[in-house]
């Protein structure tokens, strides 16, 4: 994986997703184990088109508001019965502001939300200076 993607995303609390050529929109997220995790659905943040997308473009911005990097990602749904869910989703729930306790949130997400894992390609689409 490209080190610029890793560095930018480790520090990101928010990323912008571009799905199927539509304008990019912000989502709160978790970077873990080389991928970006995003929850969406009823009672959670909207992520138009993400639940059914196969690929997206992720844009990361710096503290100054300018884009640092954009990268293509494969979209994988994280299933509630998977080992990945039990490891990552409690971490994602812990980052959710103004929420119910983590256990309640994880249970609700298992039935009413979608958690997606966005796996980067190895090469950024846009780097600083582009």
Indicate if the pLDDT at residue 130 is higher than 60. no
Other Cβ atoms closer than 10 A to 68: 21
Give pLDDT tens digits for 34-48.
999 999 999 899 999
**pLDDT of res. 127:** 58
Give pLDDT tens digits for 68-89.
888 999 999 999 999 999 999 9
Give pLDDT tens digits for 89-109.
999 998 887 777 788 999 999
**pLDDT of res. 95:** 87
Domain limits, the chain: 3-99+106-117
Q: For the ranges 7-16, 28-37, 61-70, which has the lowest average pLDDT?
A: 61-70
Q: Which of 50, 33, 51 is nearest to 88 (CA)?
A: 33
* CATH architecture under which domain 3-99+106-117 falls: Roll (2.30)
Distances in Å between the alpha carbon of 51 and those of 7, 111, 113?
26, 14, 10
Q: Round to whole Å and give the CA distance between 2 and 57.
A: 15
Instruction: Answer for the pair 28, 45: CB distance below 8 angstroms, yes or no.
Output: yes
């Amino acid at each position: 994986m490209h080190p610029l993607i890793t560095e930018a995303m480790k520090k990101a609390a928010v990323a912008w997703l571009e799905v199927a050529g539509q304008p990019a929109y912000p989502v709160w997220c978790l970077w873990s184990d080389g991928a970006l995790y995003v929850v969406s659905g009823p009672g959670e943040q909207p992520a138009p088109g993400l639940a059914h997308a196969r690929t997206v473009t992720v844009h990361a911005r710096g503290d100054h508001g300018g884009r640092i990097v954009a990268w293509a990602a494969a979209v994988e749904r994280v299933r509630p019965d998977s080992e990945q869910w039990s490891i990552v989703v409690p971490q994602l729930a812990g980052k959710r502001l103004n929420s119910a306790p983590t256990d309640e949130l994880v249970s609700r997400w298992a039935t009413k939300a979608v958690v997606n894992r966005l796996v980067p390609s190895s090469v950024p689409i846009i780097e600083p200076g582009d």
